[in-house]
Structure 1
Amino acid sequence: MTTVDINCDLGEGNTAADCTRDALLMPFISRCNIACGGHAGNATTMALSLQHARENGIAAGAHPGYPDRENFGRTSLALTRGDLLASVREQIQTLQRFAAEQQIPLTHVKLHGALYNDAEANEDLAEDLVQLITREFPSLAVLALANATMERAAKKCRHPVIREGFMDRRYLNDHQLSPRGRPGAVIHEFALCVAQAQALATGQPFLSAEGKPLQFTVDSICLHGDNPQAVTIARELQGAMLRAGIQICR
């Protein structure tokens, strides 16, 4: 049976009740990226998200972003490179401390929001971020967009990388994501999302935004947990993948 990892950004609320809602997704995914105090997250959400990840047997990683809670890390900040790297380091270390208290090993780092996008658009920034992770968090793989800048930076540093794909985003002919501002960049029909997820998991062809057949595989597929129907989508995705002979596991 083919296997694929499904990852989801969690721990981005403020209360224990938010974490309880997040936990409803965990039986249907294999990896979670936990906000660690930059764009979102606090002591309660970090501790409970880690606990729930362990109870559900899924991998847990750090999800650092720009330290900008007001804009949820979705706006680029004009920080010096040193200040930005220091913030990312502190965020990962914070989650590491909570994980150590529960004896839970973290497995990876996935950047959040504007920082994820900025690193993909700036080779120097990507290399600085990967070098930071390689130097100070060598056991944490980089979860990054497949066929793109952070993946190349990780390979350059010979650091483990988990290649991420998206079931609900169109790709360009060069295997890059279609910009969100372009018409049709986001796939809304669930059946099309499932078909693309299956193709990304198995290496079968699927159509680009321009209608060209694309063919590549990824290690992990992102499931957006902030969709109001996220639990239903996750449950139905798991069922559809299993019917296609694809098992969700890390």
Structure 2
Amino acid sequence: MHIDLNCDCGESFGVWVMGDDAAVLPHVTSANVACGAHAGDPLVMRQTVRLCKRFGVAIGAHPGYPDREGFGRRVLPMSAEELEASLLVQIGALQAVARAEGVSLRHVKPHGALYNLAAQTPVVAETIARSVAAVDPTLILVGFAGSFLITAAQALGLPVAREAFLDRGYAADGTLLPRDQPGALITDPVANLAQALQIVQQGTVMAAHGLPIPIEADTLCFHGDTPGAADRAVYLREGLRAAGVHVCGL
């Protein structure tokens, strides 16, 4: 039994610091590095790639809407052509940084509002998949399990990774609870481990209405920008190991 464990990182920029990447990255197997649009900057991108290289963590691009003020959590009215151009620039920039550091990109995972919209909107999903294929058709596209993004990627022959969340609450329809609702963000390490094990071992996740819903996952997302994230990451890795789950890259 095995699973990939990913986290979003590289989201600091300038003098503004987000999360503790150096403390969290040693405990995950894949990193989604912000590409300078919703967060991150060229120096942070390079520093984060170096951290990933040091810890042996697979590097992925984490492109989002160009919206620093909203942290990429607002849908911007971009045409498909505008969105595709933005994604090409973001993924290409991180690819260049990785190449300069002697490593390669492994995957792409959209961020925030773009990720959520792509899960439910075919035209957005197809635009993202087309952008990734144009950069490198061997890149793994990470998307919400069972979403339009997964099917759009498969239609273009891209390798995919179905993602589930161990620290986010689920609604009865299988979508994530909006962040402004109670139970949307789960920061208790015991609850994080329990949800991760239920997803991996049983193929289900407990929804807000109190009943399990089916889910298939190749990778689990752990948010490293929440208080106590590093300690929770250690607890999670140890708990998965103790339960016989091998945490490995995609």
> What's the counterpart of residue 73 of structure 2?
74
Q: Is 2:138 the partner of 1:171?
A: no
Aligned partner letter, 1:126: A
> What's the counterpart of residue 160 of structure 2?
161
TM-score w.r.t. length of structure 1: 0.91
TM-score w.r.t. length of structure 2: 0.91
Identity of aligned residues (%): 37
> What's the counterpart of residue 99 of structure 1?
98
Deviation at 1:7, TM superposition (A): 0.4
Deviation at 1:174, TM superposition (A): 4.4
> What's the counterpart of residue 246 of structure 2?
247
Contact 2:189–2:235 (8 Å) recurs in 1:
no
Aligned partner letter, 1:4: I
Question: Tell me, which stretches of 5 or more residues in structure 1 are unaligned?
Answer: none
The alignment partner of 1:228 has SS state of coil
> What's the counterpart of residue 129 of structure 1?
128
Please list the CA deviations of residues 130-176 of structure 1 after superposition, one character each: whole Å capped at 9, or x if unmatched. 12212332121101111112112112222111111011223344433
> What's the counterpart of residue 89 of structure 1?
88
Deviation at 1:33, TM superposition (A): 0.5
Please list the CA deviations of residues 28-82 of structure 1 after superposition, one character each: whole Å capped at 9, or x if unmatched. 1000011111111112111111111011011001010111122221111112221
Contact 1:185–1:209 (8 Å) recurs in 2:
no
Deviation at 1:178, TM superposition (A): 3.7
Bigger shift: residues 91-100 or 16-25? 16-25
Question: Tell me, which stretches of 5 or more residues in structure 2 are unaligned?
Answer: none
Aligned partner letter, 2:99: A
Contact 1:199–1:217 (8 Å) recurs in 2:
no
Find the aligned partners of 2:21 and 2:173 in 1 and give their Cα distance.
34
Contact 1:202–1:217 (8 Å) recurs in 2:
no
Aligned partner letter, 1:139: T
Contact 1:200–1:217 (8 Å) recurs in 2:
yes
After superposition, the CA RMSD in angstroms is: 2.1
Find the aligned partners of 2:103 and 2:172 in 1 and give their Cα distance.
40
Contact 1:16–1:48 (8 Å) recurs in 2:
no
